[in-house]
Amino acid sequence: MVQSDVKEGNPKGKRRRKYIPGLACLKFVPDEYWSPEEAQRLYEGPPHSPVRQDTICFEDCIGGMERMPPESVDLVVADPPFGIDFSGKESVYNRNGDLVVDSYHEIDADYGEFTEQWMASLQKVMKPHATAYVFSGWNHLEDVLRGARLSGLTTINHIIWKYQFGVFTKKKYVTSHYHVLLLAKDPNKYYFNKIEHYPLDVWDINRKYKAGEVKNGTTLPLEVVRQCIEFSSKPGDLVFDPFMGMGTTAVAAKSVWRRFFGFERNELMQPVIEERIDSVTPGQDYTTLQELRRKNIEKAKEKYPLAVKYLTKAGVRIDAES
Ligand SMILES: C[S@@+](CC[C@H](N)C(=O)[O-])C[C@H]1O[C@@H](n2cnc3c(N)ncnc32)[C@H](O)[C@@H]1O
């Protein structure tokens, strides 16, 4: 809580502090920040993991994780298959079938058992300070929460990601949200860099539909994955995705000076993923401190006009450079 030095009427003439909401938000600077040069140095420096970095293996992730060195990844972004018969439904997603890569792989086994298995393997490859962001639709949320509990991971946040449209329905509400669980291997040690003063557990981020681009129908927006990476890892860290799909995690990691590793069962995705990864240069979307401050200030200005008025009156500059 930041308080102003405004003197309020009080009989003894003592200086009492008046609370002005939003001041802390306007002055906020993250605890940890690396300049683009420092971030690049960390990215190009000694690897943070014995795993072969910037690699995607086209195989089943459960077998693959069993062969990975234990405690080798800094952060996990996992968007497992939906557990619904997705193929054939592309038309309801308003997508051109010719542009959807074939054989999106659904799971053959029972969803609960599959979830239990991959999450148990995942827990082993996470470093003690690592966290995992696991995406789930509401239909299998129970399985994912159970898998997390059985694997020994602790739920730190239950985030709702809201997007702008869902599949049209006739006799029920249209689903336009996802669940994102933030799970920690050790709830007392996990890494979290609060780069915003007041980061909410509801994310309002639109899905982008880009006409004419090849896709597998399930791609996450880069912005959503970048948010996970920027809050929960450092430059040069290894970000692991057991279900790479179109390679969004790899692209997001590379674009903000992080390394990546992952699995994808569908070999047909390889050329599409490689093209996407090659299309970005390392660090191209890394957020500078000024940009971070500007974003925070814009939000705070909208929410706390009184704090803006107070600082302006006091002659305090409110901009990203101050
Ligand atoms: C929901 S999609 C991931 C989409 C991804 N987040 C993106 O933005 O492109 C799930 C992916 O997991 C793959 N998959 C399914 N079972 C798998 C397994 N056992 N091991 C590795 N990949 C698997 C599917 O082929 C599919 O591409």
List the chain domain ranges: 1-30+288-322, 36-286
Euclidean distance between CA atoms 119 and 228, whole angstroms: 18
Whether residue 308 is predicted with pLDDT greater than 80 in this model: the reply is yes
What confidence category does residue 295 fall into, taking pLDDT thresholds of 50, 70 and 90?
Answer: confident
- The residue-averaged pLDDT of 200-217 equals 72
In contact, 212 and 99? CB cutoff 8 Å = yes
Lowest mean pLDDT among 47-51, 83-87, 128-132, 152-156: 83-87
Ligand 1 center to 245 CA (angstroms): 4
Topology (CATH level 3) of domain 36-286: Rossmann fold (3.40.50)
- The residue-averaged pLDDT of 287-311 equals 89
Ligand 1 center to 83 CA (angstroms): 11
Instruction: Write the pLDDT tens digit of every residue in 69-113.
Output: 999 999 999 999 987 554 433 333 333 344 445 445 666 679 999
Residue 317 φ/ψ region, left for φ over 0, alpha for ψ in the -120 to 50 degree band, beta for the rest:
beta
What's the pLDDT score for residue 164? 80
The protein residue with its alpha carbon nearest to ligand 1, atom 25, reads 105
Ligand 1 center to 115 CA (angstroms): 13
Whether 219 is in the pocket of ligand 1, judged by its Cβ within 6 Å, is: yes
Q: Measured from the CA of 266, which atom of ligand 1 is nearest?
A: 25
Q: Are strands 259-263 and 55-57 parallel, antiparallel or unpaired?
A: parallel
Instruction: Write the pLDDT tens digit of every residue in 237-246.
Output: 999 999 999 9
Tracing tokens 């802390």 back to the chain, one arrives at 24
Whether residue 214 is predicted with pLDDT greater than 70 in this model: the reply is no
What's the pLDDT score for residue 159? 98
Ligand 1 center to 131 CA (angstroms): 19
The mean of the pLDDT values for the chain is 87
What's the pLDDT score for residue 3? 47
Whether 264 is in the pocket of ligand 1, judged by its Cβ within 6 Å, is: yes
Tracing tokens 């439904």 back to the chain, one arrives at 89
Lowest mean pLDDT among 38-47, 61-70, 311-320: 311-320
Kindly give the interhelix angle for 141-151 and 111-125, rounded to the nearest 10 degrees: 40
What's the pLDDT score for residue 64? 98
Whether 245 is in the pocket of ligand 1, judged by its Cβ within 6 Å, is: yes
Whether 107 is in the pocket of ligand 1, judged by its Cβ within 6 Å, is: yes
